[in-house]
């Protein structure tokens, strides 16, 4: 079952940013990821694995991904894959992420429409977070464009919620604009959200939680948690910050 609300630890691991106790190699990427899980497991509601950060290192990176997934254990796992292709390709992606990686949720792009998202929604008991209003600067290029009088991101949300199994659909809505998040939450009070962008990207944790207005959401923190301390005390810092974030984000 998806966590109703709380801290999502984003395991977007970057070899070049590993703290001092770790060396800049894939084996230490794996070690760092496992140590982060051990340091946060008591306070994290879920973990987000950004697949690209592992795939870039080839087979060694994939091995690290699966080792980190195994260390997470029974905690809730979101595969940040942003998949979305024609039906049979999406079905293959869904099988890889849900059956092999054993993720509980996935992020998907809605650009190709219902037949590209449908294969993910067809898997029972899995959550599908559709990109809606993201926290990157380029989100202005398309997501806020008006279709008639309706922003495109809102049209995406309304359309997805009209599909079968829409109860297993949530949306990615960024934390970098608390006013927009509050508007989304007012219009969609009960829809699950994955909210990235807190910390390094500029989103404020307290403002974001307030804007969400106690709706079902997990709040992702990645770089602002993982790389807050570049010294030998990094895991103590990560554990402390994770506890502070969790206290802010958990009702």
- Which residues carry out catalysis? 82
Distance CA 170, CA 192 (A): 5
| Contact residues for 131 (Cβ-Cβ < 8 A; gap 6+) | 82, 107, 108, 109, 110, 156, 171, 172
Biggest distance spanned by C-alpha atoms of the chain: 55
CA dihedral 148, 109, 9, 21 (to 10 degrees): -130
Distance CA 225, CA 113 (A): 34
Distance CA 42, CA 64 (A): 22
Tokens (6 digits) for 81:
């894959």
Distance CA 201, CA 199 (A): 6
Strand partners, 220: 8
What is 106-131 written as a DSSP string? EEE--TT-HHHHHHHHTSTT-EEEEE
What is the residue whose two structure tokens read 């005390």? Answer: 233
Burial 205-217 (b: 16+ CB within 10 A, else e): bebbbebbeebbb
């Amino acid at each position: 079952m998806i966590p109703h609300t709380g801290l999502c630890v984003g395991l977007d691991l970057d070899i070049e940013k590993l703290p001092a106790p770790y060396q800049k190699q894939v084996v230490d990427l794996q070690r760092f990821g496992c140590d982060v899980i051990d340091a946060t497991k008591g306070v994290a509601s879920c973990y987000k694995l950004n697949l690209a950060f592992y795939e870039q290192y080839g087979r060694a990176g994939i091995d690290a991904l699966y080792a980190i997934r195994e260390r997470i254990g029974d905690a809730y796992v979101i595969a940040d894959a942003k998949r979305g292709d024609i039906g049979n390709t999406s079905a293959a992606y869904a099988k890889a992420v849900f059956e092999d990686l054993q993720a509980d949720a996935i992020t998907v792009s809605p650009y190709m429409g219902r037949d590209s998202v449908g294969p993910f929604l067809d898997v029972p008991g899995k959550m599908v977070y559709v990109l809606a209003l993201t926290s990157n600067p380029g989100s202005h290029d398309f997501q806020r464009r008006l279709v008639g009088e309706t922003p495109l991101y809102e049209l995406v949300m309304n359309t997805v919620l009209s599909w079968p199994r829409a109860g297993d659909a949530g949306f990615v809505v960024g934390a970098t604009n608390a006013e927009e998040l509050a508007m989304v939450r007012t219009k969609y009070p009960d829809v699950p959200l994955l909210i990235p962008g807190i910390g390094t990207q500029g989103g404020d944790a307290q403002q974001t939680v307030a804007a969400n207005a106690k709706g079902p959401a997990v709040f992702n923190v990645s770089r602002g948690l993982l790389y807050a301390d570049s010294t030998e005390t990094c895991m103590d810092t990560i554990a402390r910050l994770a506890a502070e974030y969790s206290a802010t984000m958990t009702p």
